[in-house]
Amino acid sequence: MNKRVPLPPHPHPHPQEFDLKIEDIRKRSQISDIWKRLRRNKLAMLGMVIVIVLLLSAIFAPLIAPYDYAVQDLANAKAWPSLAHPLGTDDYGRDLLSRIIYGGRVSLLVAILAIVFGLIVGGSIGVSAGYFSGIYDGTIMRLMDVVMAVPGFLLAVCISSALGTGVTNTAIAIGIGCVPGYARLLRAQVLSIRDQEYIEAARATGASNVRIMLLQIVPNILSPVIVDSTLRIGGCILMISSLSFIGLGVQPPIPEWGSILSAGRQFIRSFWPIVVFPGLAIMLTLFGFNLFGDGLRDALDPKLKR
Amino acid sequence: MGRFTLNRLLWVIPVMLGVILIVFTIDRFSPGDPVAAELGAGYTQEQYDAKKAELGLDKPFFVQLFNYVSKIITKGDLGNSYHTGLSVTASIAERFPVTLKLAIIAIVIAVGLGVPFGVISSTRQYSVADHAVTTFSLIFAAMPGFWLALMMIICFSIQLKLFPASGYKQWNCWVLPTLSAGLSFVATITRMTRSSMLDVVRQDFITTARAKGVNEGTVIRKHALRNALIPIITTIGFQFGILISGSVIVETIFNMPGMGSLMMTAINNKDYPVIEGCVLVLAFFICIINLITDLAYGIADPRIMAQYTKGKKAKMKEAVK
Amino acid sequence: MSDNLLEIKDLSIHFYTDDGDVAAVNGVDLTLSRGDTLGLVGETGAGKTTTALGILRLIASPPGEIVSGEILYEGEDLLRKTDKEMQKIRGGKISMIFQDPMTALNPVLRVDEQIAEVVRLHSKCSVQESLKCALEILEKVGIPSERGKDYPHQFSGGMKQRVVIAMALSCNPQLLLADEPTTALDVTIQAQVLDMMKGLKSEFGTSMILITHDLGVVAENCNKVAIMYAGQIVERGTVQDIFNNTSHPYTKGLFNSLPSHQGKSKRLKPIRGLMPDPANLPKGCSFHPRCPYADRLCFSEPAELKEISPGHFSRCHHADKGADLYFPDEEINEIAYSMGFPPSNPGNDILGKGKML
């Protein structure tokens, strides 16, 4: 047993290959990963395609729409779909397809304005409340609770009826409804970031580099805001259409899906395209934003449900 | 629990006062002159002043506000319509039951269809049934209520002549409106039930139940669903506001004499007291519904009930156990 | 009819995932006689919990599947039983205790109701009687019966685990599968709960499979041990065999990763490397990448379980040679220290020389 036996060569490569590389771990939470996760979700991709189509058609409306939305052709009023007018014409002879395309532009514009308004005002309120805390925080969040007590649509109705119709007025009316939601969201983000251990850990490992900290904080605030906004745009567009439908919001001659629907109600028996197509547009838009928003939420935080 | 309820009820008051303030301010500071609108074309300064005094608009803002609030609290008087001069409270009282009935039936349909669909969808994940239900709910979640209403009218009233498109006296007048208001909600509840069930079914206590020998049906019903419904209760309360907003529009399409049509006429006439009154009543109603859902939430989940009822001392005692 | 209560033969359980097929349990053989306590030891991911769930056929069917093997309980193959028959067995003849007491109980049901449910399922008694039974068992596990009406969130971790144990033992099962029952608890509570389990076990005559990664717990509570690695049993035998005549290099590694309270070592001696990715197991012996004794044979050929002494099995090509015999003792210590590895017969470190169970 005391014989010296030569040691056989270590049969496998140096054990260092087992050690995890730190860089590998860090790279994982980057944009390419998010994109990969998003791509795997077919429904989310479908939503994204719809959203992109909407955006493009809104931006390039004058190039895509076969006619201008205000051009009347009374001789051809209430024409059924044909090659010249793929979706038919309305009661003034205006091409429905063009009106719907331009209507998309209006809806998107108002929705984005509303959200930006809500984000700026609500965001400032929320961030300051989270940062300063104390009585200021308490009072202002109570105020937000009060505004939230009125359902967004009813509040928008109230404000719209006071301010009147039009793109800016509607954007403000809806934007005010978005303010409390954003205020709460950003306040929660600021509060959670303040206490995060990884901020302390970053400091403890010597990363007093302000840029690194910004790279830690900002991405973590951004993702809930992006997800929330994407999901909210759909709701805003629905609200815009609903407001226009009941006579507020945006009214003719500016084309808006809701007002086209409303005007077409009287022809519901004789000429249903004027009622069906704008509604389809609304539905498709909402569908796209819902799918995309859901997919984005799942991709940005895979810890949530599968 | 009683104390909690009282606490929450008391909170309703400042919230409603705040809402009144906001709504009132919005209307009083908006462009447009209701006095002029009422008088129409051509009027003298005397007529203007008289009308203004009649509408109570000649007093300073805070006095108007104070009068408004005190009248509501003491007499439940929401003022009079600029247009018809009738009491707003009376008009609303006449029409509220229709809106309420519509909303309640819509919720019952939504929960009655949504929960079973969601359970089926979650227990048979990726099957044909699941895909069908998911597709259905994705489509209907994106469908605007008022458009669905119009589509249903085209389909069932005009083409098939199955249900009437207006009226409210017979039961079949209520089919299309409640479906229009409720189907979108069905979709939401289905999706929520599905995802809630999927979450719950993955949890350890479900495996424990199976390891005890409980049969699968009971596992789903007694163990999983009872836990999965808890977040859905909160969603219902949360979404109620959206449901009411939607049903208000649906009403107008079906010519039902509810608050929706009242509001629409008022909007057209710039009849602020009516608009304010409607918004206030609906907001109050939603507040109460939120309170009820919070209570229901506590009843369904004993952990939440514990939070509601225990004071600080009792919480400390528990932590030591 | 053997007197083995449970015989698992060549059990394989696979999981089919998007990232590949995982052989979580890969040809496991186990036997258990009445009255035994088998310690099933291994690191996280070795397949211990999956094996236990497989016995009760609680593997989630997508994505998992029991691919092959037999599980003979009292001579009958559990894998051929219908769902209804399995439901009768679960909780009645074979019970399971799960690892995390905080999530093992249904939060919306009272504790006495959760225990009474099991009782009603396996005996014909009324609701009243089952509740009374439940309270009796609660007393047995040291929970006053007044607490029966409380909800799980009102109990601490240790008490929750007692409730889970009460639930599991309420119908006098013959076999108890305990999946790391004390891992999630404080050390002082651990000792209490294990003692209580020991007492109940002898009172009811229950056999037990105790899944753990803690060799100290095995030493105190088990009479048989099976070591699992990468879905297979790599060593199996009585406690004396495993602790005194440790054969498989992995087992030795486990013993040596324990900080020695004998005072000699200055550094911790972990086993180098990581558990292999179950979707991508190494060819040959599954332990060879981490094994200091591995040679060409280990590289290419998977090892079979060999009986190196009566009742003591080891899955190692060099098991019969006894890896110690490969190198002289002093050389082992040199090489071992340079690689972070064992002095021989490390089991003695834990038990203290001469102390036997």
Please state the domain extents for chain C. Answer: 255-348
Closest C-alpha among C56, C8, C43 to residue C28: C8
CA dist list (Å): B86 to B56, B78, B91, B274, C169: 15, 11, 7, 10, 73
Average pLDDT over residues B243-257: 86
C-beta separation of C91 from B210 below 8 A: no
Name residue C64's beta-bridge partners. C15
Which run of H or E residues covers position A209? none
- C263-280 residue pLDDT tens: 665 666 777 777 777 777
C-alpha B217/C-alpha C264 separation (Å) is 59
Residue type, C298: C
Which run of H or E residues covers position B168? none
Within 13 Å, how many C-alpha atoms sit on residue A7's CB side? 11
Subunits touching A (CB < 8 Å, at least 3 pairs)?
B, C
pLDDT at residue A11, as a whole number: 45
Which A residues 212-241 touch B at CB under 8 Å? 234, 238, 241
With a cut of 60, say whether residue B257 has pLDDT above it. Answer: yes
C-beta separation of C222 from C210 below 8 A: yes
Report the gap between the CA of C153 and the closest CA in chain B (Å).
7
3-state secondary structure (DSSP) of residue B306: helix
C-alpha C18/C-alpha C20 separation (Å) is 6
A283 CB-near residues (< 8 Å, 6+ apart): B139, B142, B143, B144, B147
CA dist list (Å): A159 to A143, A238, B23, C319: 17, 17, 8, 84
With a cut of 50, say whether residue A15 has pLDDT above it. Answer: no
C-beta separation of A117 from A172 below 8 A: yes
Alpha helix (H) residue ranges in A246-272: 257-264
C-alpha A63/C-alpha A70 separation (Å) is 15
C-alpha C344/C-alpha C333 separation (Å) is 8
Least confident of B47-51, C12-16, C222-226: B47-51
Give the torsion sign (CA, C69, C72, C75, C80). Answer: negative
Between the ranges A11-25, A160-174, A292-306, where is the mean pLDDT highest?
Answer: A160-174
Structure tokens at A124: 């400032």
Q: Is the pTM of this model over 0.95?
A: no
Q: How many CB pairs under 8 A join B and C?
A: 81
pLDDT at residue A302, as a whole number: 59
Phi, psi for C237 (deg, rounded to 5): 170, -165
pLDDT at residue C38, as a whole number: 93
Report the gap between the CA of A68 and the closest CA in chain C (Å).
51
Residue C167 to residue B205, Cβ atoms within 8 A:
no
C-beta separation of C296 from C312 below 8 A: no
Q: Is any Cβ of chain C less than 8 angstroms from the Cβ of B215?
A: yes
Torsion of CA B281, B283, B284, B290, to 10 degrees: 150
Residue B306 to residue C156, Cβ atoms within 8 A:
no
Structure tokens at B62: 């805070």
Phi, psi for C314 (deg, rounded to 5): -145, 140
Give the torsion sign (CA, B9, B13, B14, B18). Answer: positive
Instruction: State chain C's maximal CA–CA distance in angstroms.
Output: 70
- B186-237 residue pLDDT tens: 998 998 899 899 889 989 999 999 999 898 899 999 999 999 988 888 888 8
Which of A1, A11, A15 is nearest residue C296 as measured by Cβ atoms? A11
How would you write chain C as a 3-class SS string?
A: CCCEEEEEEEEEEEEEECCEEEEEEEEEEEEEECCCEEEEECCCCCCHHHHHHHHCCCCCCCCEEEEEEEEEECCEEHHHCCHHHHHHHECCCEEEECCCHHHHCCCCCCHHHHHHHHHHHHCCCCHHHHHHHHHHHHHHCCCCHHHHHCCHHHCCHHHHHHHHHHHHHCCCCCEEEEECCCCCCCHHHHHHHHHHHHHHHHHHCCEEEEEECCHHHHHHHCCEEEEEECCEEEEEEEHHHHHHCCCCHHHHHHHHHCCCCCCCCCCCCCCCCCCCCCCCCCCCCCCHHHCCCCCHHHHHCCCCCEEEECCEEECCCCCCCCHHHHCCHHHHHHHHHHHCCCCCCCHHHHHCCCCCC
Give the residue from chain A lying closest to B145, CA to CA.
A242
C-beta separation of B198 from C103 below 8 A: no
Report the gap between the CA of A190 and the closest CA in chain B (Å).
24
Selected for mutation to probe chain A from C287, C327, C334 (highest A CB count within 10 Å) is C327
Closest C-alpha among C211, C214, C216 to residue C226: C211
pLDDT at residue C328, as a whole number: 38
Residues of C in contact with B231 (CB under 8 A): none
Within 13 Å, how many C-alpha atoms sit on residue C13's CB side? 30
- Is the confidence metric ipTM above 0.90 for this complex? no
| Local confidence band at A124 (pLDDT 50, 70, 90 cut-offs) | confident
Residue C327 to residue A8, Cβ atoms within 8 A:
no
pLDDT at residue A200, as a whole number: 66
Report the gap between the CA of A151 and the closest CA in chain B (Å).
5
pLDDT at residue C267, as a whole number: 67
Closest C-alpha among C46, C10, C12 to residue C26: C12
C-beta separation of B308 from B4 below 8 A: yes
Closest C-alpha among B5, B233, B199, B275 to residue B115: B233
pLDDT at residue B273, as a whole number: 81
Residue of A113 and B256 predicted with greater confidence: A113
Residues of B in contact with C89 (CB under 8 A): 213
Residue B279 to residue A154, Cβ atoms within 8 A:
yes
Instruction: Name the one residue in this structure whose structure tokens are 């939603």.
Output: B286
- B263-285 residue pLDDT tens: 888 887 777 788 888 888 888 88
Residues of C in contact with B214 (CB under 8 A): 87, 91, 117, 121
| Local confidence band at C208 (pLDDT 50, 70, 90 cut-offs) | very high
Which runs of E-coded beta strand occur in B160-247?
none
Structure tokens at B319: 């932590």
Q: What value, to the nearest 5°, has the Cα angle with vertex B22 and ends B16 and B26? A: 145
